[in-house]
Structure formats: structure tokens, C-alpha cells
Chains A and B, each alone.
Chain A
Amino acid sequence: MKANELDQIRSVIKTNKRADLIFALAGFLALMVGVMAFVTLFGEMLANGWERINPDFFSNFPSRRAANAGILSAWVGSLLVMLVTALSAIPLGIAAGVYLEEYAPKNWMTDLIEINVTNLAGVPSIVYGLLALGVFVYTFGFGQSILTAGLTLGLLILPVVIVSTREALRAIPIHIREGAYGVGATQWQVVSDHLVPYATPGIMTGVIIGMSRAIGETAPIITIGALTFIAFLPPSPITDTAPFLNFEWLFSGFTVMPIQMFNWTSRPEEAFQQNAAAAGLILVLMTLMMNAIAIWLRYRLRKSISW
């Protein structure tokens, strides 16, 4: 090869590589838009709300005086609502996902149901709130209770659980299924002994992603008529006398973190804005913690499942 040819090749490579550099830069900027937006928001809440975060903030009920106001009823309410959401959405979502993926005949009806389930994930949450107001609050008579809120959010995240269940099932290689069928297992044995256990990491991830969406939902909870000022706790689910479980809390009035935050934001006083920022900070931390648990669970369970 002659020297001038080599030079030519080098200059071509140099021109070609310019696009690499340009994209790397543009891509980095695009990424930063998202990251910076979150960091700025979080930073502002941190700056505004930081001083309000102390033990009293967690153990005080809301109050007319900003300095005494806390989020006790809100975080307890959020926790109990999430409990109902998880207990309703997980079994329903897994059962529906397993049925759709494994049992449902492959025909246009199933296709239609599939498209519907996927689209349900995109329905605005306030529509779920309206539905719940009609069905749970009035028709079933559950009232404006923790049960109603939990079931509403359960419905809201149901499509996410169904879709992630199906995806997790689909990721299980066909030869594992055939191995199980090959020794004479029935469909239910294959599902319960193999498919669902192996799909658990994927399902858990979906559940927690759904839950971290649900914990921040405000619109459907307001629609069903959650109260914004609650200075009491629901009856404890665990009692010291037999049978040690108490279900009265399900029908108790409640508030949740985003509603408490919304309530404080609508007040004119500066001090309440501070409270709102602090509550927002806690809410974001709760969500991040849930995501961290999801990542950790997935990592731990995936280690023991490989093909």
C-alpha cells in the first residue's frame, strides 16, 4: 500500500468518526435533561423541606400550626392502602397473566382481551377513581375507606402485573416446559411447580413498579373522597387479644402521602409549603426504596434461576 493511500484511508476514518463524537454528545445531553430535571426537583424539595424532617414530623398528626403538623396519618394511611393494593393486585394479576399466557385458547377473543389489558395500563387514573366511586363506594357500600382506596389502586396496577407476569412466563425457555411435561406433569403442575416459581423475579419487578406508581397516585384517591385532614389513626390491624387480627381498619377513613402534600401545597403560608416539600421528599424516598427492593430481589432470585 502506498503512503498517500494510507493517508486517504486515515482521513476518511477521521470524517466517519466525527459522527460518533456528535452522537455521543447529543445522547449525553438528552440523558442529562431527564437526570437534571429529577435532581433539580429533588434538590429543591431537599432544600425547602430539609429542616422539617425530624422524628416529630413522622409522629404528629396534621395541625393548623405548620410547625406542629406531621405526616403520621398520611404515612400510616399510605402503608395500609398499599397493603390492600398488593393483596388484591398480586393474586388477581398473576392468575390473569398465567391464564392468558398458558391456558387461554389462541383465538381472536384472547387477542382482543390482550389488547384491552395492555390498553388498560394507559387509562388515566382519574377514570379508575370514577369507576371506584360508583362501584366500591356506592354499589358495594365500602364507603370512603382504606379498602376502597386499596382496591382502586389494585385495579390501577392490575394491567402492569398481568403484563409483567406474561413477559416473565414468556422468557422461560420452551425446553424447560417440555422437560416438565415430558415426565408426565399436568398443566397445573407445570404452572405451579415450574413456571410461576421461575417467573417470580420478573413478576416481583412488575408488582413493585406498579406499587411505586400507585403510592404516588392522587387523582383516584381524591375522586373516591379521601379526607384531607385526618387527626386519627385507623384501628390497628394487629391486636393483643385472640384472634390477633382486626379488619376494622379496612373501613376506616384515611389520608395518604400525596393528598397530605396536596393539601399543604394549597395553603398560602410559607411554612406549609415547607411541610409539603418535606412530605414530597419522604414520598420520593419511599418510592426509591421500593425500587431498590425490586432491584435487590430480582438480583437475588435471578442468581438461583438460570437455564
Chain B
Amino acid sequence: MSTTEQNLPVKAFTRDFNFYYGSFHALKSINLPVIEKHVTALIGPSGCGKSTLLRSFNRMHDLYPGNRYQGEIVLNPDNTNILDTRVDPIEVRMRVGMVFQKPNPFPKSIYENVAYGLRVRGEKSRSMLDDKIEDALRGASLWNEVKDRLNQPATALSGGQQQRLCIARCLATDPELLLFDEPTSALDPIATANIEELVTQLRDRVTILIVTHNMQQAARVSHYTAYMYLGEVVEYGITDEVFLRPKKKETEDYITGRFG
């Protein structure tokens, strides 16, 4: 599977992917494409496994003992199964960026936060760093707000600004795939609107996979939606189709609020 029905390029896909927390079977034979330069949203009730699936795309689960992957997550164009034990999780994380549920800037300066991804890649040239940091901050619509205080602590920023800073931290390293794990759940409505606006701007540049518990958000920002329940993908399709003409009864119940 490298294209969908409309022959769009697939950036990544899972093939018979299963995931276990110890003996708990959290994800059950997931087959899901992530279309390049589009936004794919994962929706579903709490505990359905959407964050677990998202965190498999950058091998975050490797940090904790007792977790086990089975099956494949393939990253294109090189057709690498990123779950292969021979693939270094560090390499995966360098290719796949992640924005977390709670804004998590480092207690360092704004500049150093954005620079960090570049620094671990060995970038030392000050002028190169300056340029890339400006680009990343512009990309995250934060440049105008912080350009005069790049050396101030990032933790002094507001929650919404912190989240955009975390997005800039990812953008600085040009990820092929960007994962968003409920990026607005800790933010107020205005900051949420800013982040959604940003996601719609970014979707032409980078492939995005976003987990959200907010269905309106999924409907607003995504091209494709997967509805998950109890560790399975119940329905996957073009967002409008999933929301307006769901094929499955469970999806319809969830979307119309009769369940979940």
C-alpha cells in the first residue's frame, strides 16, 4: 500500500500493527495510512489507544520497560520499518517530530529551546543557528512576539506561546512527519484557535498526524480522520465523509454524541 484510492502519496503507514503494555493488548492490528502533506486526525474516547498509536510513530514507548511492538510502521520514501529493532529510535525521532499534550519547553532561553534539536544534530555555526531559529519561529507564528527577547526564559511565555515554541522546536529540524498529541488540551480557546490556525498553515509543508479529543477540531483541521475504539481503528476516511456520512454505526454514535 503506497497510495490511496485517489493515488495520493503515503508518507507512512502501519501494517498489522499491535502494541502491548506488558500483557495488555492496547492496539489491535492497526492498518492506517498517513497521507503526505495532509493532516490525519485520530479521534475516539479516552483510553481507545489513539495516543498510544501516535507515540509509536516516534518510538516513544521505547523509553519505558515492558512495552512491545508487533507488526510494522513503514516510513516512506525509504520504506523503512521504524519498529525494526535494527532501526535506532534516535534516528526515528530525528525524522519524526512530536508536540506534546502539555507545552514542555525546557527551562532555558527561547533561543536555546529552538536551537536544541539543531544542537543534537551537531549544528554549531552561530549564523546558521540564527537563521534556522528565525525561520522556525516564523513558521510557528511566534517570531513577532519573541524576536526582541530570544534570550529570556521560555517558561515566562504564556501557555499558547509555549506550545507554539514547542512547534518551532520541531520545525527547526525539518521533520518529515509531525505528531501532535492533543496539543490544545491544556490551552484556552484563543490559544487553541491560534494552534489550529498554525496546523492549517503547516499542512502544506509537512505531514501531520494529530490526536484530538475535540471532534470539531478534527473536523476543522484534518483531511483524513480515523475513529478508534478499544484499540482498533473502527473507521478511516476523508474527514468530511467520516463526519457527514459515517459508514459504521459506532462512528456515527460517537460523532453525534450518543456515546463517548
Give residues in A with beta carbon < 8 Å to B.
105-106, 173, 175-186, 189, 193-194, 198, 304-307
Cα distance, A105 to B120, chains bound together (Å): 25
Cα distance, A53 to B105, chains bound together (Å): 52
Cα distance, A67 to B97, chains bound together (Å): 73
Which partner residue on chain A sits nearest B117 by CB separation?
Answer: A183
Cα distance, A183 to B64, chains bound together (Å): 17
The number of chain B residues with a CB under 8 A from chain A is 28
Total inter-chain residue pairs, C-beta < 8 Å:
69
Give the 9 A-B residue pairs with the shortest CB-CB distance, closest first. A184-B94, A183-B117, A179-B104, A175-B104, A184-B93, A182-B98, A305-B107, A185-B120, A306-B155
Cα distance, A258 to B153, chains bound together (Å): 45
B60 touches which of A178, A189, A193, A306 (Cβ 8 Å): A178
Cα distance, A203 to B235, chains bound together (Å): 51
A183 touches B173 (CB 8 A): yes
Interface centre among B65, B97, B106, B166 (most CB of A within 10 A): B106
- Whether, in the assembled complex, B102 has its beta carbon less than 8 Å from a beta carbon of chain A, the answer is yes
Give residues in B with beta carbon < 8 Å to A.
58, 60, 63, 65, 90-91, 93-94, 97-98, 100-102, 104-107, 116-117, 119-121, 153, 155, 166, 169-170, 173
Cα distance, A304 to B153, chains bound together (Å): 8
Q: A178-B100, A306-B155 are in contact. Are A183 and B106 (CB under 8 A)?
A: no
Question: Please, which residues of chain B bring their CB within 8 A of the CB of A305?
Answer: 107
Question: Please, which residues of chain B bring their CB within 8 A of the CB of A185?
Answer: 90, 116, 120
B100 touches A179 (CB 8 A): yes
Question: Please, which residues of chain B bring their CB within 8 A of the CB of A106?
Answer: 65
B106 touches A194 (CB 8 A): yes
A181 touches B93 (CB 8 A): yes
Which partner residue on chain A sits nearest B59 by CB separation?
Answer: A181
B56 shortest CB reach to chain A, Å: 13
For the A-B complex with A175-B101, A183-B120 known, give 8 more contacts whose Cβ atoms are closer than 8 Å.
Answer: A178-B63, A179-B105, A179-B106, A183-B117, A184-B91, A184-B94, A198-B107, A304-B153
Would you give 25 A-B contacts (Cβ < 8 Å), ordered by A? A105-B65, A106-B65, A175-B101, A175-B102, A176-B104, A176-B106, A178-B60, A178-B98, A178-B100, A179-B104, A180-B116, A181-B60, A181-B63, A181-B93, A182-B58, A182-B60, A183-B93, A183-B170, A183-B173, A184-B91, A184-B117, A185-B116, A189-B120, A194-B106, A304-B153
Question: Please, which residues of chain B bring their CB within 8 A of the CB of A182?
Answer: 58, 60, 93, 97-98, 100, 170
Q: Determine the main DSSP class of A at the interface with B.
A: helix
Cα distance, A138 to B36, chains bound together (Å): 71
Question: Please, which residues of chain A bring their CB within 8 A of the CB of B121?
Answer: 184
Question: Please, which residues of chain B bring their CB within 8 A of the CB of A175?
Answer: 100-102, 104
B104 touches which of A178, A184, A186, A306 (Cβ 8 Å): A178
Cα distance, A178 to B99, chains bound together (Å): 10
Cα distance, A182 to B61, chains bound together (Å): 11
Question: Please, which residues of chain A bring their CB within 8 A of the CB of B166?
Answer: 179
Cα distance, A304 to B94, chains bound together (Å): 28
Question: Please, which residues of chain A bring their CB within 8 A of the CB of B100?
Answer: 175, 178-179, 182
Question: Please, which residues of chain B bring their CB within 8 A of the CB of A189?
Answer: 120
B197 shortest CB reach to chain A, Å: 23
Cα distance, A180 to B63, chains bound together (Å): 12
Cα distance, A4 to B49, chains bound together (Å): 59
Which partner residue on chain A sits nearest B121 by CB separation?
Answer: A184
Question: Please, which residues of chain A bring their CB within 8 A of the CB of B169?
Answer: 179, 183
B122 shortest CB reach to chain A, Å: 11
B107 touches A306 (CB 8 A): yes
Question: Please, which residues of chain A bring their CB within 8 A of the CB of B91?
Answer: 184
Question: Please, which residues of chain B bring their CB within 8 A of the CB of A307?
Answer: 104, 107, 155
Question: Please, which residues of chain A bring their CB within 8 A of the CB of B104?
Answer: 173, 175-176, 178-179, 307
Cα distance, A138 to B90, chains bound together (Å): 49
Question: Please, which residues of chain B bring their CB within 8 A of the CB of A181?
Answer: 60, 63, 93
Question: Please, which residues of chain B bring their CB within 8 A of the CB of A184?
Answer: 90-91, 93-94, 117, 120-121, 173
Question: Please, which residues of chain A bring their CB within 8 A of the CB of B153?
Answer: 304
Question: Please, which residues of chain A bring their CB within 8 A of the CB of B98?
Answer: 178, 182
B107 touches A183 (CB 8 A): no
Which partner residue on chain A sits nearest B116 by CB separation?
Answer: A183
Cα distance, A304 to B116, chains bound together (Å): 18
Question: Please, which residues of chain A bring their CB within 8 A of the CB of B90?
Answer: 184-186
